[in-house]
């Protein structure tokens, strides 16, 4: 194992440890250090994993904050969108699918947390992210494809339910 790769793995573990302690500032600090190391090494796979780790920490912070800021959720959406597209260019499909799934969650969370956000538009954005993820499933092994399809179907159900399209929602169950 190369020393830079080992350092990156250690920084990731430190980030995860801080996240488990609900110390999101330090978790994000170490997650971003990991991301920076991976990018500096041109290790796109590790950078993608680090970006996913940072996004999960951002998600954890937002969902455990009684009143999250709009800026935090918008930052998460922008971060995930950028990295999902980067994963696509790098051919890191499973991480791209995961990031699209997190994006769909963030869209709904944003709509549910703030009354002035159009729930219908948020549901449509969620469905758009899920459709992007679904188009990538054919490239996965059967077991991964089935697991990810189940996640997409459930999230699609929720989006149609929010749109009051109950018959379509039921079709996704």
In the chain, where are the structural domains located?
Answer: 67-171
Binned at pLDDT 50, 70 and 90, residue 1 comes out as very low
Residue with tokens 């956000």: 117
**Cα–Cα distance list, 156 to 87, 147, 169 (Å):** 23, 14, 7
pTM of the shown model: 0.89
Q: Is residue 88 within 8 Å of 73, Cβ to Cβ?
A: no
**What pLDDT, on a 0 to 100 scale, did the predictor assign at position 2?**
55
pLDDT single digits (tens) 29-55: 999 999 999 999 999 999 999 999 999
**Cα–Cα distance list, 89 to 35, 83, 102 (Å):** 17, 10, 19
**What pLDDT, on a 0 to 100 scale, did the predictor assign at position 3?**
53
**What pLDDT, on a 0 to 100 scale, did the predictor assign at position 66?**
86
**What pLDDT, on a 0 to 100 scale, did the predictor assign at position 146?**
95
Q: Is residue 152 within 8 Å of 160, Cβ to Cβ?
A: no
Q: State the chain's mean pLDDT as an integer.
A: 92
**What pLDDT, on a 0 to 100 scale, did the predictor assign at position 4?**
61
Helix (H, G, I), strand (E, B) or coil at 152: helix
pLDDT single digits (tens) 92-128: 999 999 999 999 999 999 998 999 999 999 999 999 9
**What pLDDT, on a 0 to 100 scale, did the predictor assign at position 133?**
97
Residue 136 has pLDDT above 80, yes or no: yes
What is the DSSP secondary-structure string of 61-121?
HHHTSSS--HHHHHHHHHHHHHHHHHHHHHT-HHHHHHHHHHHHHHHHHHHHH-TTS-HHH
Residue 5 has pLDDT above 80, yes or no: no
């Amino acid at each position: 194992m190369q020393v830079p790769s080992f350092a990156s793995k250690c920084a990731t573990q430190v980030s995860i440890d801080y996240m488990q302690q609900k110390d999101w500032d330090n978790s994000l600090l170490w997650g971003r250090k990991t991301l920076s190391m991976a990018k500096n090494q041109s290790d796109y796979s590790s950078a993608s994993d680090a970006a996913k780790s940072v996004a999960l920490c951002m998600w954890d912070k937002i969902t455990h904050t009684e009143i999250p800021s709009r800026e935090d959720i918008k930052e998460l959406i922008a971060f995930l969108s950028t990295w999902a597209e980067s994963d696509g260019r790098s051919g890191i499909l499973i991480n791209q699918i995961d990031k699209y799934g997190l994006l769909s969650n963030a869209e709904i969370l944003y709509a549910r947390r703030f009354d002035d956000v159009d729930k219908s538009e948020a549901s449509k954005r969620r469905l758009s992210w899920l459709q992007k993820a679904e188009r990538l499933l054919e490239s996965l092994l059967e077991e991964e494809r089935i697991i990810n399809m189940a996640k997409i179907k459930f999230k699609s159900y929720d989006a149609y339910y929010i749109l009051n399209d109950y018959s379509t929602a039921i079709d996704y169950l």
